[in-house]
Structure 1
Amino acid sequence: MHHFTRLFPAAAVGFTGQSLVSHAGTKILTELIDALGFRGLCEDRLGQFAPSGARHRPGRLIASLALMLAGGGEHVSDLDMLRSSPGIFGPVPSNATVSRFFERTVANPELFSYGFETLTRELRSRAWDAAGNFEPGGQATAADPLIVDLDATLVTSHSDKELAAGTYKGGYGFSPFIASIDYGTGNGTGEILACVLRPGSAGANSADDHIRVFETATAQLPESFFPDGKLDGQRILVRTDSAGASRKFLWHLHSLGVQFSVSYPVPAAKAHMIDWINDKQYWQPALDQHGTDRTNAWVINATEVIPLKDYPPGTNIYLRAEPLHPGAAPTLLDLDGHRITAFLTNAPRWHGPFLDARHRARGRCENRIKTLKNTGLGKLPFYDFAANQAWANIAALALNLTSWLQLTALPEGHHARSWDIKRWRYRLFATAGKIITRARRRTLLLPDRAPEKQLITVLLDRIKDLPARLKSAPAKPT
């Protein structure tokens, strides 16, 4: 008789009526939501989207969806994971109630969008006020502005939906345009300012779409960016890829005093102007993201060599040269084995290597877009375009809750400031628990051996103090 050795301990499986809670770690987010005053704000901004006297108000419905998406859910039916633990998550709306709510958003999409945008703007203001020295916009100046990244992406639709269309990659779906804030290295993963849903056939280099998403994004910034009611553009830097290098868009930014840093495709006709690549005496060593000189990459201000026509005054073109990466396909613009890339900027700073390193950090926005797709944008569940736009807004809120958690509750220099949403889910949000009642007081018990026990304790303590920090925050200039 052959015996086999188990990889894991044998244990019989049974079911119990005890108050066991999966995803009990998301209790951290429920505490943050309440500390920010979400319920009252949502009722004020979106109360008209629920019938008078309805049991489930918009605050509970939207918060439940955002919590589910932050915890790893993808569909409305995934609310079942919260619904099974009313002791922690309260009465969760049914799927039918959620469906009727989105039907009401379709009936008046402009009103819902306005209400949701003003809601998230106030939540952002409160989170930034509670962040203290970590407030992203608090120290923004012309020399060190708040960085807003603009980029489009593709979302595949596996069924026919309103305004879904073929994409330039041969797929079918939507091409949302996303504006996000870069907190910088070590300060957090950043947050989403706007997610504007577009048909899949929408062009990536549309100047009108760039202007539209920029206006939507800046409307989400706190009042401190609008002294005298006008946008303080010099404290904002917009970064885009080459799709944002259109003159119309850059002139629009210039008219508002906004700084920009955009990739620029060097025309083949001007390639001969940079054939002095071999003479490095005119070039400066490029910097890595830690500010250290690189020995095999160089940067130069080439505005006098490659003249720019019809661009805003003060626009400069910077070139970057570095050897071809292994496996990279050579192009006609590669000179002496070097890949030449360029970007345009009107920044008041003139140190080319610094400007180049700051522009190359734009790649971090790709991680934020990937995270947004993993937090609900990747699967748009409805047929109506307006309903899917509302879902995209809630997905952005789910991502931002984790970002605001990093800003408001994490100690300075904590390693969790760089965690991606998937790590938050596995290390914290997926922690299981049990509800007990003693002396008529309900308590959620978490495992004493939870790997992030200390972090959970720190977060809950810091969130508990958040309302007091909001009251003591200095008034913002208006």
Structure 2
Amino acid sequence: MINSTLTYPTPRVELTDQHLISHAGLSAMGDLLNAVDFRALCEDRFSQFVPKAAIHRPGKIIADLVLTLAAGGEQACDLDILRTSAGVFGPVSSEATVSRFMGRVKHMPEAFTYGYQTMSKTLRSRLWAAAGDRNPAKRATRINPLIIDIDATLVQAHSDKQGAAGTYKGGYGFAPMIACLDYGQGYGTGEILAVLLRSGNKGANSAKDHIEVLSQALAVLPDDFYDDHGVLIGEKLLVRTDSAGASREFLNLLDLLGLQFSTSYSLPVIKEREIGWISQKKYWEPAIDQHGQQLRDVWVVDATEVMKLKAYPPNTRIYVRAEPLHSGAKASLFDTDGNRVTAFLTNSPYYNIAELDRRHRARGRCENRIKSLKHAGLGKLPYWSFAANQAWALLAALAVNLPAWVQLSVLPVGHQASVWDLKRWRYRLFSIAGKLVRSGRQAKLLIPKHAPEAGLFTLIGDVCQKLHQRWRQGHLTA
């Protein structure tokens, strides 16, 4: 008889009545919600969505849904992961209670959206105040503005849902438009400001939808971006989009609001003399990467005097970038000398061409935030009602923002977790298991001392507790 060596040990599996917690690490996000008094805040904003005598209040219902989405849940029934750990997550509402809550939401979508915006603004104000010198509102200036990224994406629907339609890629579903915040390098991964759910047949270049999602994004910014008369201080903000946001209607509105912008621009068929001028690299400057290092054979130039713009804001400038074609790429009419030529528009008062190009190219970070948003619930909208799915999308945005706020306001500068996306938070922290015990009439959550992120877990809990005390004592204001 030949004995084979097993890949893994095979201990005997038995059931136990011990209080074991499968997602104990997720309670770190609960600590953050406790620190900002999330339950009381939601009671003030969403009490109309539950009966007055209801045991499960809106703050707890919303918090449980948000934690479930952050942990990887895809629908209300996934709340059972929290429900089986009442010692850590408290009493969790049933699926029927959540269904009734969402049923009221779909009949009062405007009230829910308004409540979410005011709640989100208050949360953001409190947590940004706790960030100290890293507060994005304090760091924003005319030369170094805070960046709002706007982009659209596609979400597939695998069954018939209200508002779902055919997409330009041949699929079926929705085309939400998302507004994100980019803190900049070294300050975390950024957060989601607004999610505008749209039918799948909506175009990405809709100026009306860009204006709507921007207005929702501005509504959730702290009061630091408004003067004493409630007027937006537009020069502290920059709106960054792809070429879908380069419509004259949208850019003229941004100029009217005093906002800076940086948007990709689809180059028209140009004249032969302009092609010849582009080929003369003596007019160009070398481009730089995100670390400030000069790139090889990549050039940028201010082409405003050559390519005249019509009906755009008067201070709009156009910058052109040339880089070698990637292997296998096909050259277009505009691509000359083996270079891919692209352009972007901006009204920024900053005139360092290479730096403007670097800042615009960083728009790719927006794609990472949208990817995390899809992993947090936007990718699988569970309801038939369009209004209920819109509310679900906003809860998904809150699930993505929780780790982002921890990175900004809780973790020390340079911590390794300050660059983690949501999926890494799940694998490294949220999946930590624990055991609930009682000692000296006090409940204690035991986690493995040798767990890779045990230190991170305890760090978040300690800092959140201190923040809560500072708010209660009035040492922090928002």
Contact 1:22 1:430 in 2 (8 A): yes
Return 121-130 or 455-464, whichever deviates more: 455-464
Structure-2 residue corresponding to 1:268:
269
User: In structure 2, how many angstroms separate the alpha carbons of the residues matched to 1:450 and 1:218?
Assistant: 41
Show the 5 A alignment for 1:304-383.
304-383=305-384
**Following TM superposition, by how much is the alpha carbon of 1:219 offset from its aligned partner in structure 2, in angstroms?**
0.5
How does the TM-score come out when normalised to structure 1? 0.98
Show the 5 A alignment for 1:322-471.
322-470=323-471
Q: Residue 235 of structure 2 aligns to a residue in which SS?
A: helix
**Following TM superposition, by how much is the alpha carbon of 1:165 offset from its aligned partner in structure 2, in angstroms?**
0.4
Show the 5 A alignment for 1:88-167.
88-167=88-167
User: In structure 2, how many angstroms separate the alpha carbons of the residues matched to 1:379 and 1:44?
Assistant: 29
Q: Residue 340 of structure 1 aligns to a residue in which SS?
A: strand
**Following TM superposition, by how much is the alpha carbon of 1:399 offset from its aligned partner in structure 2, in angstroms?**
0.5
**4+ long deviations beyond 6 Å:** none
Gaps of 5+ in 2: none
Contact 1:25 1:430 in 2 (8 A): yes
Q: How far does the alpha carbon of each residue in 1:403-444 deviate from its partner, in whole angstroms, 9 at most, with x for none?
A: 111111111111211101111111110000000001110000
Give the AA of the match of 1:257.
Answer: G
Give the AA of the match of 2:123.
Answer: L
Show the 5 A alignment for 1:21-32.
21-32=21-32
User: In structure 2, how many angstroms separate the alpha carbons of the residues matched to 1:143 and 1:229?
Assistant: 22
Over aligned residues, Cα RMSD in angstroms?
1.2
**Following TM superposition, by how much is the alpha carbon of 1:473 offset from its aligned partner in structure 2, in angstroms?**
5.6
Distance 1:270 1:378, change over 3 A: farther
Q: How far does the alpha carbon of each residue in 1:225-284 deviate from its partner, in whole angstroms, 9 at most, with x for none?
A: 111211111110000000000000000000000000000011013475133333222111
How many residues are aligned here?
Answer: 476
**Following TM superposition, by how much is the alpha carbon of 1:468 offset from its aligned partner in structure 2, in angstroms?**
4.0
- Is 2:318 the counterpart of 1:298? no
Contact 1:130 1:469 in 2 (8 A): no
User: In structure 1, how many angstroms separate the alpha carbons of the residues matched to 2:272 and 2:321?
Assistant: 13
User: In structure 2, how many angstroms separate the alpha carbons of the residues matched to 1:377 and 1:123?
Assistant: 21
Structure-2 residue corresponding to 1:38:
38
Give the AA of the match of 2:8.
Answer: F
Give the AA of the match of 1:457.
Answer: T
- Is 2:86 the counterpart of 1:76? no
Gaps of 5+ in 1: none
Structure-1 residue corresponding to 2:284:
283
Give the AA of the match of 1:109.
Answer: P
Distance 1:279 1:472, change over 3 A: farther
Structure-1 residue corresponding to 2:62:
62
Contact 2:275 2:334 in 1 (8 A): no
Identity of aligned residues (%): 57
Q: How far does the alpha carbon of each residue in 1:135-165 deviate from its partner, in whole angstroms, 9 at most, with x for none?
A: 1222111100010000000000000000100
Q: How far does the alpha carbon of each residue in 1:189-216 deviate from its partner, in whole angstroms, 9 at most, with x for none?
A: 1100000100001110000110010001
How does the TM-score come out when normalised to structure 2? 0.98
Contact 1:275 1:335 in 2 (8 A): no
User: In structure 1, how many angstroms separate the alpha carbons of the residues matched to 2:475 and 2:190?
Assistant: 22
Give the AA of the match of 2:279.
Answer: N
Structure-2 residue corresponding to 1:249:
250
Structure-2 residue corresponding to 1:13:
13
Structure-2 residue corresponding to 1:176:
176
Give the AA of the match of 2:263.
Answer: V
Give the AA of the match of 1:250.
Answer: L
Structure-2 residue corresponding to 1:186:
186
Contact 1:408 1:463 in 2 (8 A): no
User: In structure 1, how many angstroms separate the alpha carbons of the residues matched to 2:477 and 2:43?
Assistant: 24
Structure-2 residue corresponding to 1:211:
211
User: In structure 2, how many angstroms separate the alpha carbons of the residues matched to 1:406 and 1:270?
Assistant: 49
Distance 1:270 1:230, change over 3 A: farther
Q: Residue 98 of structure 2 aligns to a residue in which SS?
A: helix
Q: How far does the alpha carbon of each residue in 1:261-314 deviate from its partner, in whole angstroms, 9 at most, with x for none?
A: 000011013475133333222111101000111121011000001010111011
Contact 2:470 2:476 in 1 (8 A): no
Contact 1:270 1:306 in 2 (8 A): no
Q: Residue 137 of structure 1 aligns to a residue in which SS?
A: helix
Contact 1:83 1:91 in 2 (8 A): yes
**Following TM superposition, by how much is the alpha carbon of 1:456 offset from its aligned partner in structure 2, in angstroms?**
1.7
Contact 1:130 1:473 in 2 (8 A): no
User: In structure 1, how many angstroms separate the alpha carbons of the residues matched to 2:203 and 2:331?
Assistant: 27
Distance 1:174 1:2, change over 3 A: same
Return 361-370 or 329-338, whichever deviates more: 329-338
Contact 1:43 1:58 in 2 (8 A): yes
Contact 2:130 2:476 in 1 (8 A): no
Q: How far does the alpha carbon of each residue in 1:5-58 deviate from its partner, in whole angstroms, 9 at most, with x for none?
A: 100112011110100000100111111001011011000011111001100000
Give the AA of the match of 2:180.
Answer: S
User: In structure 1, how many angstroms separate the alpha carbons of the residues matched to 2:362 and 2:272?
Assistant: 25
User: In structure 2, how many angstroms separate the alpha carbons of the residues matched to 1:23 and 1:270?
Assistant: 62
